[in-house]
């Protein structure tokens, strides 16, 4: 305990924030008095240093090296500033922030560090979505973009994303989130910062990005919808929610710019609130997160629900299927958008050869079938938009976790605003034909067969069990799944030349089913991604879905058994 409290007191002495100094001093005093809970808390706060990687920083807000706080952020900003100075010299840095605890302070500290280091710092005029910062990085030709957000993490978290562009990255990844080796190069410079109090910070000198850039982003997001010559969009009733995040303003404006006027917002979730009081977990994928949206949709007779996560880079879509409001799986929305974009490009007579569609390795194989049918190329990438958004020639990319990039020339990241606007346009077009999104899902089944995806997650309290589980599966994979022989067993690290941050296993069966098992990169979990494909005989979509559901149940049971749960 003496060594731990000494470490904590050194942290207090180097912390520029009076609030976190006082917080840590209280924890130290309680731990020294024999409070076991405080002692455990103190140990966790200094159980290491919050690591900077390809996701930047992300963790609980609080005092200590293993937390998000001003001291950690100032160190990170100093590391990014030094990297920019070393690699391209005096740089332009765009900085954004959302509504989470500490976000504006972390953003302002970053601007102060950048200015003191000789860089030009451009700070967003207010809390805004992550896609706006990604847009600004390209629109302003910034050498770096920094977004303070924890996206859809729990309320106690915050984070720090870094994009590189301008002169720092000049290939197809210009304006995208960092990947190796940039993360390691920045991390080494963060580690070299001797003291937070020694990091120079300017009192002023950063610039405020004008509202005109936000206006430009909104117009660009709305342009994904194209023109509305017959005014059909005014007849489409939309329910939206930002889940207490910062997406409301831009989502409302983009929809109205595109011609939608009948918009109903979940009032209880419209104003940014870092405590997210109406949801257990601020992620549209989580059970109950969009219940208020669905309730409002029933009440007003909506045509579609569009839900953004707190920083609005993700987009969930709900519609009526078989008489019930349901949220579409991320793979279904990705396939709908992929088909829509592929058909639109065919109508414009765009040469298919240079058009690339991409999704992550754990997402459905249906997008590949869509791309091939329309004469386009398709690429599978590692999980994460830092990989998807830098695919050369990309016209559409998605990952099953509700992330969609429908305009990579403007935003090289997932963008829930432009994706939501495009999906609303699709609903308006279908409604004008007397059809719905449910009909469009049926169309996909007729054209490509039924693609059913599902995920199994196993949480571990003992982190050592995760590599042990993967090692066991890699050494002794199942010989059959869902009563079908396993015909392919691949170590995914080999397929991606060691780029995977964790081990992964790919299994394929003679029936066409696929399973990918890999540890989560952000949680103490092993995740399995399951997919079943069934052809539609004649027009009997219901029979194909029933067969797929039956096989999926068997597949899930076998995967759970293989994982030992």
Strands 324-327 and 157-164: unpaired
Is pLDDT above 90 for 66?
yes
pLDDT at 352: 53
Strands 304-308 and 324-327: unpaired
Task: Name the DSSP class of 61.
Answer: B
pLDDT at 383: 87
Question: Cα–Cα–Cα angle for 154, 295, 417, nearest 5°?
Answer: 55
pLDDT at 503: 66
Using alpha carbons, select from 137, 139, 140, 181 the residue that is nearest to residue 161.
Answer: 137
What is the average pLDDT score of the chain? 94
Q: Measured between alpha carbons, how far is 255 from 172 in angstroms, rounded to an integer?
A: 29
Using alpha carbons, select from 340, 344, 374, 382 the residue that is nearest to residue 356.
Answer: 374
**pLDDT 10s digits, 177-211:** 999 999 999 999 999 999 999 999 999 999 999 99
Q: Measured between alpha carbons, how far is 55 from 44 in angstroms, rounded to an integer?
A: 21
CB 85 within 8 A of CB 137: no
**pLDDT 10s digits, 103-121:** 999 999 999 999 999 999 9
300-305: average pLDDT: 98
Residue 271: Cβ within 10 Å count:
12
CB 92 within 8 A of CB 179: no
* 416-432 vs 330-347: helix crossing angle, rounded to 10: 70
**pLDDT 10s digits, 489-537:** 987 754 444 444 456 899 999 999 999 999 876 678 899 999 999 999 9
CB 318 within 8 A of CB 294: yes
Residue 4 sits at φ, ψ, to 5 deg, of -65, -45
**Number of residues in the chain:** 565
Beta strands in 66-221 (DSSP E): 92-97, 120-123, 144-148, 157-164, 176-177, 207-208
Residues in CB range of 61: below 8 A, 6 or more apart: 67, 68, 69, 100, 101, 102, 156, 157, 158
Question: What 3 state SS string does 534-550 have?
Answer: ECCCCCCHHHHHHHHHH
Q: Measured between alpha carbons, how far is 76 from 53 in angstroms, rounded to an integer?
A: 11
Q: Which of 122-126, 283-287, 312-316 has the lowest mean pLDDT?
A: 283-287
Catalytic residues: 151
Using alpha carbons, select from 266, 233, 271 the residue that is nearest to residue 249.
Answer: 271
Q: Measured between alpha carbons, how far is 199 from 474 in angstroms, rounded to an integer?
A: 47
Distance of CA 385 to the CA centre of its chain: 7
Chain position carrying tokens 């003291």: 195
| Token duo for residue 484 | 């079908």
Is pLDDT above 70 for 296?
yes
CB 318 within 8 A of CB 310: no
**pLDDT 10s digits, 237-258:** 999 999 999 999 999 999 999 9
Helical H runs in 449-525? 465-475, 492-495
Is pLDDT above 80 for 292?
yes
Model confidence at 34, pLDDT cuts 50, 70, 90, reads very high
Q: Is the peptide bond before 322 cis (omega within 30 degrees of 0)?
A: no
The DSSP H or E segment spanning 378 is strand 377-381
CB 242 within 8 A of CB 270: yes
Is pLDDT above 90 for 347?
no
451-473: average pLDDT: 90
Helical H runs in 164-301? 182-191, 211-223, 248-257, 291-300
């Amino acid at each position: 305990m003496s060594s731990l409290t000494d470490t904590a007191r050194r942290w207090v002495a180097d912390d520029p924030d009076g609030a976190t100094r006082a917080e840590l001093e209280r924890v130290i005093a309680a731990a020294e008095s024999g409070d076991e809970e405080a002692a455990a808390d103190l140990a966790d706060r200094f159980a290491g240093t919050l690591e900077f990687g390809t996701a930047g920083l992300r963790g609980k807000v609080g005092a200590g090296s293993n937390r998000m706080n001003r001291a950690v952020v100032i160190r990170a900003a100093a590391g990014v500033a030094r990297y920019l100075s070393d690699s391209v010299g005096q740089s332009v840095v765009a900085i954004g922030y959302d509504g989470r605890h500490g976000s504006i302070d972390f953003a302002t500290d970053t601007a102060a560090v950048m200015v003191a280091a000789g860089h030009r710092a451009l700070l967003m005029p207010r809390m805004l979505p992550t896609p706006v910062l990604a847009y600004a990085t390209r629109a302003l030709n910034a050498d770096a973009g920094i977004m303070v957000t924890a996206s859809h993490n729990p309320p106690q978290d915050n984070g720090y994303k870094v994009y590189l562009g301008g002169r720092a990255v000049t290939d197809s990844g210009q304006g995208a989130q960092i990947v190796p080796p940039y993360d390691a190069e920045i991390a080494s410079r963060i580690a070299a910062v001797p003291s937070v109090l020694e990091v120079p910070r300017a009192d002023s000198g950063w610039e405020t990005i004008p509202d005109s850039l936000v206006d430009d982003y909104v117009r660009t997001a709305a342009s994904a919808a194209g023109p509305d010559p017959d005014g059909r969009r005014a007849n489409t009733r939309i329910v939206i929610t930002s889940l207490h995040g910062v997406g409301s303003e831009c989502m409302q404006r983009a929809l109205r710019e595109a011609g939608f006027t009948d918009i109903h917002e979940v009032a209880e979730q419209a104003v940014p609130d870092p405590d997210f009081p109406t949801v257990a977990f601020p992620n549209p994928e989580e059970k109950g997160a969009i219940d208020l949206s669905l309730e409002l949709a029933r009440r007003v007779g909506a045509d579609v629900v569009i839900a953004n996560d707190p920083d609005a880079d993700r987009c969930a879509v709900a519609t009526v299927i078989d008489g019930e409001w349901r949220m579409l799986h991320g793979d279904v929305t990705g396939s709908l958008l992929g088909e829509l974009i592929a058909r639109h490009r065919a109508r414009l007579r765009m040469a298919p050869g240079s058009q690339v569609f991409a999704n992550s390795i754990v997402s459905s194989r249906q997008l590949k079938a869509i791309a091939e049918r329309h004469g386009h190329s398709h690429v599978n990438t590692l999980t994460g938009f830092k990989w998807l958004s830098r695919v050369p020639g990309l016209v559409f990319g998605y990952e099953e976790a509700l992330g969609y990039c429908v305009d990579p020339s403007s935003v090289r990241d997932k963008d829930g605003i432009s994706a939501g606007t495009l999906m609303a346009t699709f609903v308006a077009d279908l409604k004008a034909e007397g059809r719905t999104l449910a009909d469009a899902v049926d169309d996909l089944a007729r054209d490509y067969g039924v693609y059913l995806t599902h995920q199994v997650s196993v949480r571990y309290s003992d982190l050592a069990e995760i590599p042990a589980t993967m090692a066991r599966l890699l050494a002794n994979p199942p010989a059959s799944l869902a009563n079908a022989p396993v015909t392919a067993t691949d170590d995914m690290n080999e397929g991606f030349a060691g780029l995977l941050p964790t081990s992964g296993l790919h299994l394929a069966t003679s029936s066409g089913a696929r399973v990918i098992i890999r540890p989560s990169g952000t949680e103490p979990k092993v995740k399995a991604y399951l997919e079943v494909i069934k052809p539609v005989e004649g027009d009997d979509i219901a029979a194909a879905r029933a067969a797929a559901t039956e096989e999926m149940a068997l597949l899930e049971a076998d995967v759970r058994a293989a994982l030992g749960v």
